[in-house]
């Protein structure tokens, strides 16, 4: 383990373009529950309204019954409120330098990468703190939802507001995907997958591309995932501690 850590540390030291693909596991050490952790809180993924969590947070439910979706969006917000970046976010941000670009493609909606100082963050699933109008271009960044009505409406046009996140059943933000693809075409020297289980193509494809191009792939996740067998280096340990040990002089 220590030799492997040192080896990846060396690769990081020399790398000019590093990609971190991150998921809920990266924020676990900030005491934000992972998706599975969060759904466990809803008794096996069911909400008290008798529908699966994913359905309550689905585009269809939002359109038919926005108050119901808002109830669970508010719970999600509560789970990230006041939470701070942890060592994993901090190490990724500290790796940025004039000679090294660090790109973060995250499924997280908690904004902790930016808070830690990461400058290039592709928010694939949006951002829970950004509130947008469903009709006009009104938008606002909120630290907390405390002052929001249960079913908030646009101060300009009175349409329903919503967080700027990708609800289940919605497509990913095109401009974000485009910007991420642009960087993928330029290639990376090192690709990390940290704290993510999901099998979405936009997460797997950059890893597959790295494998095809002979670019080293590193996975940090206490559990095995579909990406594990593709990784050149695998650390079955928490992200923060592992990354910190990796960059330790
Ligand atoms: P997931 O819950 O399916 O997987 C989380 C992964 O993190 C698991 O593989 C787990 O083994 C790993 N993990 C747990 N603790 C870890 C640690 N300390 N260090 C490293 N890895 C650790 O989540 P997912 O597949 O990333 O995402 C599912 C969806 O849920 C995403 O679309 C995301 O938008 C949303 N989500 C976001 C947040 C957030 O913004 N923080 C939190 C929960 C869910
Ligand atoms: Zn509006």
The pLDDT tens digits of the residues spanning 84-127 come to: 999 999 999 999 999 999 999 999 999 999 999 999 999 999 99
Asked if residues 56 and 74 have their Cβ atoms less than 8 Å apart, the reply is no
Distance between CA atoms of residues 73 and 126, nearest Å: 13
Helix, strand, or coil here: 165? Answer: strand
The minimum-distance atom of ligand 1 relative to the CA of 25 is: 7
Catalytic entry in 13, 89, 113, 125: 125
| Helix/strand/coil (H/E/C) assignment for every residue in 205-241 | HHHHHHHHHCCCEEEECCCCCCCHHHCCEEECCCHHH
Query: How confident is the prediction for the chain on average, in pLDDT?
Result: 94
Helix, strand, or coil here: 112? Answer: helix
CA angle in degrees (0–180, nearest 5) for 105-246-182: 25
Asked if residues 111 and 26 have their Cβ atoms less than 8 Å apart, the reply is no
Is 152's C-beta closer than 6 angstroms to any atom of ligand 1? no
Smallest Cα–Cα separation from 203: which of 75, 105, 104, 95?
A: 105
**Residue 96 pLDDT:** 98
Is 220's C-beta closer than 6 angstroms to any atom of ligand 1? yes
| Residue 62, φ and ψ in degrees, nearest 5 | -60, -40
Residues with Cβ within 5 Å of ion ligand 2?
133, 135-136, 138, 154, 156-157, 159
| Residue 100, φ and ψ in degrees, nearest 5 | -140, 120
Residue 213: pLDDT band with limits 50, 70, 90: very high
Is 245's C-beta closer than 6 angstroms to any atom of ligand 1? no
pTM here is 0.95
pLDDT at 208 over 60: yes
Quick one: what percent of the chain has pLDDT higher than 70?
95
> Across residues 225-249, what is the average pLDDT?
94
Return the ligand number nearest the Cα of 155. Answer: 2
Is 25's C-beta closer than 6 angstroms to any atom of ligand 1? yes
**Residue 39 pLDDT:** 56
pLDDT at 40 over 60: no
Smallest Cα–Cα separation from 195: which of 93, 122, 105?
A: 105
pLDDT at 137 over 80: yes
The CA 136 to ligand 1 mean position distance, Å, reads: 32
pLDDT digits (tens, 9 = 90+) for 156-192: 999 999 999 999 999 999 999 999 999 999 999 999 9
**Residue 125 pLDDT:** 96
**Residue 211 pLDDT:** 96
The minimum-distance atom of ligand 1 relative to the CA of 29 is: 18
Q: Which residues pair with 121 in a beta bridge?
A: 104
Residue 248: pLDDT band with limits 50, 70, 90: confident
> Across residues 55-72, what is the average pLDDT?
96
Which position has the token pair 């719970």? 75
Is 125 an annotated catalytic residue?
Answer: yes
Dihedral of alpha carbons 10, 119, 245, 188, sign: negative
Q: Where are the extended beta strands (E) located within the chain?
A: 17-22, 101-106, 120-123, 126-133, 139-141, 161-165, 190-194, 217-220, 233-235
Residue 1: pLDDT band with limits 50, 70, 90: low
């Amino acid at each position: 383990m220590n030799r492997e850590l040192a080896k990846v540390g060396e690769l990081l030291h020399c790398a000019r373009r590093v990609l971190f693909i991150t998921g809920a596991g990266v924020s676990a050490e900030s005491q934000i529950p992972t998706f599975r952790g969060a759904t466990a809180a809803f008794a096996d993924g069911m909400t008290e309204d008798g529908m699966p969590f994913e359905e309550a947070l689905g585009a269809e439910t939002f359109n038919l019954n926005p108050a119901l979706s808002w109830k669970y969006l508010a719970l999600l917000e509560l789970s990230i409120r006041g939470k701070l970046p942890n060592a994993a976010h901090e190490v990724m941000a500290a790796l940025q330098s004039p000679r090294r670009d660090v790109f973060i493609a995250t499924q997280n909606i908690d904004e902790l990468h930016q808070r830690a100082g990461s400058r290039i963050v592709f928010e694939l699933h949006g951002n829970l703190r950004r509130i947008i109008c469903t009709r006009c271009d009104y938008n606002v960044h909120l630290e907390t939802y405390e002052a929001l009505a249960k079913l908030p409406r646009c101060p300009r046009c009175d349409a329903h507001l919503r967080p700027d996140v990708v609800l289940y059943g919605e497509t990913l933000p095109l401009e974000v995907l485009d910007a991420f693809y642009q960087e993928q075409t330029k290639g990376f020297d090192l690709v990390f997958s940290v704290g993510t289980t999901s099998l979405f193509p936009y997460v797997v494809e950059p890893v597959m591309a790295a494998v095809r191009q002979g670019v080293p792939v590193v996975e940090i996740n206490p559990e095995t995932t579909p990406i594990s067998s593709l990784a050149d280096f695998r650390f079955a340990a928490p992200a923060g501690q592992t990354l910190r040990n990796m960059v330790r002089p």
